[in-house]
Each structure stands twice: as structure tokens, then as C-alpha cells.
Structure 1
């Protein structure tokens, strides 16, 4: 397995500081690594070929780096293919995992009810509260002003929240505004890592690295992960106030952050073994 990591913008021969522990773990495990230029991939006028220059040919490459838009990932994959590098996760699989519309149908029974075809209208929920996001991200750090709609029957107040969400996301907005039914969750989230349809690691969520919930319900997500057929994903699980486990998010594992309390060697060992299985 060839591990692709983002280069440090200030020291191009080294991995970005955030991913340096994974670079060190790969060296410890004897896994080959190569660097890609994330800034070049995400530039206004990107040069994907330049971004992956120097990456050697390999039949099984996995990216572990900063988030890329689906079209940016596809451009990277194309440039890598021209060099004889095959990403384990295809552009189509990346989009399916990275964007909510790609995975929602498979998980609709175990995740909050959602729609993304309403142009931000929350009225279809009928009553209660809603949470806003786009196809890849919410603004939970701006919870009151651009994420939570406390009462979907108050159309004017709801539209103010939607407008603020659009304003803050700006050009970074991916897809459209997604409206999700609010559910009250309790306790910390668990981040579960799946390779080839099998859960290989359970960690804390990066936002609460010292809090790992006991016994998250892996069977809740297993059928959907198998149905989706995605090579490497994360599924975030949390308890609802009624005690039932729920899926908060499914994401592509290549761009899912690892909590600081999980040794990188654990993740890379599981990832390499899963690819060889």
C-alpha cells in the first residue's frame, strides 16, 4: 500500500505537520509514502499533474490528507492514473462517501431524516427543530446563528438561519443546503473505521479525543456499509436521548481526521491489512 500524504507548504520534502505522525508510523511499518501538493490541488487554477509529481507507480494507493472537493479528488485521481497510480477509492466512491446524498439512502433508517431538494425550506418537517448543513459539512461552531432552526413553523426565523448559513459557507458551499430533523443526542460520539466493509477500528471522535463511548452499536451501520461497497469509510455513532444509537455521519476515511489519542500505527496497520485481505 502506497500512502499519499499532503506536503508541508513550508518544507516541501516533508509531510504536513498534522500528518507527520502518520508518516512516521508508515516508516515504522515499512509502508512506502509519497507527497502530494494539497495547495496546488485546491488552487483557483489547479495543476493536478504538478501536484502529484514524483509519486511512484503503485497499484494500491491510499490518500490520508486534508479534505478535497469531489471534483478535486477526481482531478488528483486522473493525474495519478497518468503516472500508473491506482487509488483504492475511485472518484465515484469518494463522492458517494464524502457527500451526504451518496450515502443517505442506505442509512436513512438509522440517521436523522434529511432532504436537500427544498432550497433551504424547512417547512416539510411539519414541526420541531431542524439542523442545517451542506453535502459535506455543517457549521456547528455557529450553532445558534447558522445551524439550528429551533422551530420550523417560524418561517421568517428559519430563513434567517438559512441565509446566515449560506453567507458563512459562501463559495465553500458544496451542493445545496441540507435540512435534517433535529434529534437530541447524549454523550460523546464514536468514530468507527471500516475497510472493505468491515469495521477495523473504533476510536473517540476527534472533537472529544479523551471520551470514547462504551460499546457503540456497530451492527447499526454494518448492513449499510456493506450495501454501499466503499473501500474505506468512517461512520460516526452517538446515543440519542432515548438510548438508541444513531448514525451522525458517514465519511470517506481518507479525509476523516484521526483523534490525537489513537496511535497512527493502529490505523495504518488496519488499513494496510484490509487492502491485502
Structure 2
């Protein structure tokens, strides 16, 4: 396993500050790492330092990118005769909610997918949901307004605000049935090579079941307890671009080492 991190925008010999603690932790465990300039990559130039060894299995740990941009990263790494462990189809499957929803529908809120210009009121007609949680394929609205629409008429407002505050709407619109959840119980797990990991050593059965359904070699699983007492799946993400949340960098580094 070979790890690929973005460099500092102003110093290509240093890791980006956002990943410094994790980079130090994996380096301490002896996991080989390379840096590349994300800014140069955006300009169609890719150069890893040190160079990726020929035939190496590479895991990227860095900023989110659209599936189309990720295809370019796969191509850039392949051109260096190395191999990104997560290929483009697997990245899309976990990065975009529609990619994993049908596989995990039993554990996650009911969801309608739409284009941004759709008639949202018509789409939810007859649903009788208590409210509507609105997001794009990747993220929700994190301003004080939040992503919940109390009525069908409010869905378009949230979509507009996502575009306004995030600059664009990625992929499309997800309208999810609002459920009463306990946000303080939210927990992130990682699945690497089919094996689920937790920061506290306990992996719930739901996460094990999800791990059996998803083909990606490296992804994150977010769960939260509903007020009803049922554990719910609220999000999947590609493991390469998922932040650690409550995980200490040493804990995260240890799961990478265990599969190297």
C-alpha cells in the first residue's frame, strides 16, 4: 500500500496542513507516502514526489473531487505505472448517494432523486412525510438555515441556497424523508478491503451488513441512532476523501497499516 497526499499549496515538499497530523501518524508507522500538487493536477500536470513505485497499489487521501475529475486522477496514476486501489466506478458508487442507495435502502431514509429544475412539490405528492431533508448528491446545507424543508414548497428554497452557498449543485437533488435522529450519537466507521473498523473497537451489525453490500475497497459509513431506538445509516462516502471525524490520526493510521 502506497499513500498519496496533497502537498501544501505554497510548499510542494510539505503535506497540506489539513492532513499533517494523519501524514505524521502513517509515516511513524512506516507506511510509504508521496505528495503531489493538487493545484498542478487541476492544471493537468501530475507529479508525485517521491515517484510512485512501478506496480504499487495506491490509496489517495485528500480533497473531494467530482467523479469526472477522479477519472483523471486514475488516469494520471495509471500513466505512472501504478494502480489506484479505488477505481472510478467504485469512487462514484460511494461518493454519490444514488450510487449506494438501492443497495442499502433497508437501513436509510427513503429518498427521491431529481434534477434541480424538477417540480419538487409534484415529486413528493402523496408521501405524507413529516418534513423533507434536502441535499445534493454529496452534501447538505450546513448554514444556520439547515437542509430541512418543513413543507414541499420549501424544497426549492433549500436547493437554491445550496447552489448559493456552495457555488454549485453536485450531481442532482436528493429529497429524503425526515426522521427524528439523535445527532450526538452519530458515528463514522471505515471499511477497508471488506473489513469494517471502528474507533472504539465495536462495529454494529448494520455496518457489517453494509460492508457485504458495497464493492468499493475503501469507504466510510455514517450511522446515527433514531429517537425510536433504531440505528440508521445516514451516509456513505469514499474512504479516500472522507475526513476522520472523531478518529485520532493514530487510530486511522493503524487500520491502514493492518491492511498494508
Q: Does residue 164 of structure 2 align to residue 178 of structure 1?
A: no
Larger mean CA deviation between 123-132 and 228-237 belongs to 123-132
CA RMSD of aligned residues (A): 2.2
Q: Which has the higher helix share?
A: 1
Correspondences of 1:80-229 after superposition (within 5 Å): 80-117=77-114, 119=118, 121-122=120-121, 123-124=124-125, 125-144=127-146, 147-152=147-152, 155=153, 157-171=154-168, 173-186=169-182, 187-202=184-199, 218-229=204-215
Contact 1:120 1:179 (8 Å CA) reproduced: no
| Cα distance between partner residues in 2 of 1:54 and 1:30 | 15
Post-superposition shift, 1:120?
Answer: 6.1
Q: Which residue of 2 aligns with 1:5?
A: 5
Q: Which residue of 2 aligns with 1:75?
A: 72
Q: Which runs of 5+ in 1 are unaligned?
A: 204-213
Contact 1:234 1:251 (8 Å CA) reproduced: yes
Q: Which residue of 2 aligns with 1:269?
A: 254
Post-superposition shift, 1:32?
Answer: 1.0
Q: Which residue of 1 aligns with 2:227?
A: 241
Q: Which runs of 5+ in 2 are unaligned?
A: none
Post-superposition shift, 1:61?
Answer: 0.8
TM-score by length of 2: 0.89
| CA gap 1:196/1:62 in 2 versus in 1, 3 angstroms | same
The residue matched to 2:120 in structure 1 has which SS? coil
Contact 2:189 2:222 (8 Å CA) reproduced: yes
